[in-house]
Each structure stands twice: as structure tokens, then as C-alpha cells.
Amino acid sequence: MENHRSSTILFYRYFREWYELYKLGAVREVTLQKYRISYHQLIELAPTLSLNQIDRKSYQELLNKYALTHERQTTLDFHHQLKGALIDAIDEGLLQRDPTHKVVIKGKTPAPKKPKYLNQFELHAVLNDLDLETTPNWDWLILLIAKTGLRFAEALAITPKDFDFTHQTLSINKTWNYKTSSGGFQPTKNRSSKRNVQIDWQTIMQFSQLVKDMPKDEPIFVDGRVFNSTVNYRLQKHCENVKVPVISIHGLRHTHASLLLFAGVSIASVARRLGHSNMTTTQQTYLHIIQELENQDNDKVMRYLAGLG
């Protein structure tokens, strides 16, 4: 950005130079793609807005335009990206004041939310409907995610050698890049995502038979290009077959975590099993379940105290 450090530079150009300098090579490709999308949004929404024209009013107007076609959370994410660039512009002396101060985040009315997870009986019905062939298919992947709570990209990257059949664990140490045609292994989402997941004896026995003759270092489920929609459709058919709410493959991860919480597993243990970087992420994601469990605990406390008299 050395050749362009002028307050008259167009904001979208400054933003692109900023994220290419500070984010390229520092964040995962999927995160970098979000910055690229924001860059193109800036071109569309503010093609003539220069850096020195940005004040609280013009910045709020920019966000308001964006919010007309996006939900509040998406607008908030957009704002956080732009703010990162603007704060650095202040540090460089290109802006005198923070135009994001006291900004109001708006957004269009959210679309009706689809169910995120199944209860224990619904999941049991789906798993009973799976067609587990003698060779790997998408139903095996559905089973694995349901029993482990893995992210989709983590599950795709699983190889036979990741299983420790003696100790009934699965090592999560990489992901599969399914979002590009080139594919290939890539690092986990963060350091906490590297973990060993304990698996029940029945599932471990099933997979020991499935992978016994497969190449140890090759992904079990990948054979050519993989699309998230393909697996989601397969799961949808199973949900429809057994007449339960249709969830996504990521919804199986939510289902796994939810059932563990309802079973009394601690938030800390669930966070580690899911590969969350901290318990705050788990608490925020499953707040409604945690609140429901707290209500149940309050009832238990009251019954116990009443019995002391």
C-alpha cells in the first residue's frame, strides 16, 4: 500500500489493498473469500466514495444500503471487516476520527429458520434408515458426523490411519478443501480443531470393517469433486423417509452437541469434542439449550432445598 497512501484513494481500493496486505496468507482461503465478497459489495454500493469522504454519516448510509438486502448478522460481519481497514487508516493518519463510532447495525427481517437439530428419537430413526453398504458411501459419512460431531470438511479428510481402533478414538488433524475443484488436504480451522474424538464401540467396530482394505493415507469418502449439496440432499431424503424435520449435514453436528448437553455432558467437554477454540463459542451457539438445562437445574435445586425442611 506504500504507493497509494493518500486519503483521496477510493475506499474500495483502499480496502482491497488493506486485506491483500494484512489478510492474504494470514487467514484461510474461505475467510479471504469473504473479504473479496465485501470488496465487490463496496464497488457496488459506494463506487465513488473516497477515504477522506468517510464520516459517521456516510458510513452509516453505506451500512444502511447493505442492510436492505442482508440480515442483521450478515451486516454486522460486513461492518467488522470494513472497520478493521478503517481503524488502520486512522493509525496511518489517513482519517482523523473513527467513522464507525456508535454505528447502528440494521438488517432485513430474517427468513424463517429451519430446524437446526433433531432430538434423540428423530436421530435414531434417521440412523436406522441409513443404507450402510460394504464400501464407503454418503450414508457412512452421515453416520460418522452424527456420532462424532465433526465439521463436514473434517469428516471428508478422514483416512483409515486416523482411526485408533484399540483406544476407540479418531484423530482430527486436517480438513478437505471441497470448495474448489482442486480439492486436497488443508489445515484444520484453528489449533483447537486438532483433537482426538472418542467413539462408541459399536461405531468403531463398523468402521474397522469398512476401512480394513483401504489405502491408509487416502480419504475414505472422497472420490472426485465433492459438493455439500449432494450430502445434504441424501440426508434430506432420510429425514423425509422417517418423517422428521429436514436438517443439513451441519445440523448433524448441532444435533450431536445438543444431545450431549441434554445428557448432562459438561460444556467444557462438548467444546473440546467439537473443536471449539473456547467455551464461549459453545455457550453462544447452544444458549437456548443451556438455558433450558438451567431451568431444569433450578427445579432440582428447589426440590432439594424443600426436602431439607
pLDDT at 308: 83
Mean pLDDT of the chain: 92
309 pLDDT band, cuts 50/70/90, is: low
CA–CA distance, 80 with 63 (Å, rounded to integer) = 11
What sign has the CA pseudo-torsion 140, 230, 245, 110?
positive
**Residue bearing the bigger pLDDT, 9 or 299:** 9
* Confidence label for 6 from pLDDT (cuts 50, 70 and 90): confident
Average pLDDT over residues 206-227: 95
Residue 131 C-alpha from the chain's centroid: 27
* Strand ranges of the sheet holding 163-164, from the earlier edge strand across to the other edge: 163-164, 169-172, 195-198
What predicted TM-score, i.e. pTM, was given to this entire model?
0.69
DSSP state, 26?
T
Tell me which amino acid residue 118 is: L
- In whole angstroms, what is the distance from residue 9 CA to residue 51 CA? 6
Mean pLDDT throughout 17-21? Answer: 96
Task: Write down the pLDDT at residue 134.
Answer: 94
Report pLDDT digits (tens) over 162-215: 999 999 999 999 999 998 888 899 999 888 899 999 999 999 999 999 999 999
Q: Are 232 and 178 in contact (CB under 8 A)?
A: no
Helix, strand, coil content of the chain in percent (nearest 5): 55, 5, 40
Q: How confident is the model at residue 130 (pLDDT cuts 50, 70, 90)?
A: very high
The string of pLDDT tens digits covering residues 240-268 is 999 999 999 999 999 999 999 989 899 99
Which residue has better confidence, 293 or 85?
85
Task: Note the maximum CA span of the chain.
Answer: 78
Q: What percent of the chain has pLDDT over 90?
A: 77
**pLDDT category, 3, cuts 50, 70, 90?**
very low
Q: Which residue has the cell 455457550?
A: 283
Q: What is the pLDDT of residue 176?
A: 96
- pLDDT reading at 286 higher than 60: yes
Domains and CATH numbers, the chain: 2-91 (1.10.150.130), 120-294 (1.10.443.10)
Kindly tell me if the per-residue pLDDT of 5 is higher than 80.
no
On the question of pLDDT at 32 being above 70, the answer is: yes
Give the whole-number percent of the chain exceeding pLDDT 70.
Answer: 98
pLDDT at 2: 45
